């Protein structure tokens, strides 16, 4: 069902400092910050040869990332994103197997302008899973 790893998302307390660390210390290709108001985050993508790293920073007072940073002030891995070819079929199959989809169960448009869903971390060994429809 799941395809390739699309990205690993890291919540960071200082987006500019984190982006600079990847750019200057690790020599990575770092994208520009983009606000994603529907998800309450500002994101920066780090392009790697085989996947991406997504830096997450809170956008607005109701950002879910702020709650994560309150519990983890230094930041940390927030979620893993896997690609799927049909997000509705993947959602339905996962729900039939007992997985819980967060929110209202309907896909939202993500940072790559593709439909995305999130799966409850308690169903996946404590890891929040994002599914992104590609292709």
Instruction: Encode burial over 56-84: b for 16+ CB neighbours within 10 A, e otherwise.
Output: bbbbeeebbbbebbeeeeebeebbbbbbb
Number of other CB atoms surrounding residue 53 within 10 Å: 19
Give the whole-angstrom CA distance, residue 131 versus residue 3.
10
Number of other CB atoms surrounding residue 48 within 10 Å: 14
* 130 included as an active-site residue: yes
Give the whole-angstrom CA distance, residue 47 versus residue 54.
9
Given 54, 83, 130, 132, which residue is catalytic? 130
Q: Which residues are catalytic?
A: 130
């Amino acid at each position: 069902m799941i395809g390739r790893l699309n990205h690993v998302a890291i919540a960071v307390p200082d987006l500019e400092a984190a982006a600079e660390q990847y750019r200057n210390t690790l020599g990575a290709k770092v994208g520009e910050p983009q606000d994603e108001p529907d998800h309450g985050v500002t994101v920066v993508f780090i392009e790697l040869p085989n996947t991406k790293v997504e830096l997450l920073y809170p956008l607005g007072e109701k950002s879910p990332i702020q709650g994560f940073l309150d519990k983890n002030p230094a930041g940390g891995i927030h979620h893993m994103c896997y690609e799927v070819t049909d997000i509705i079929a993947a959602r339905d199959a996962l729900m039939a197997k007992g997985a819980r989809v967060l929110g209202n169960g309907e896909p939202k448009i993500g940072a790559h302008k593709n439909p995305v869903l999130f799966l409850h971390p308690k169903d996946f060994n404590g890891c929040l899973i994002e599914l992104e429809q590609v292709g």
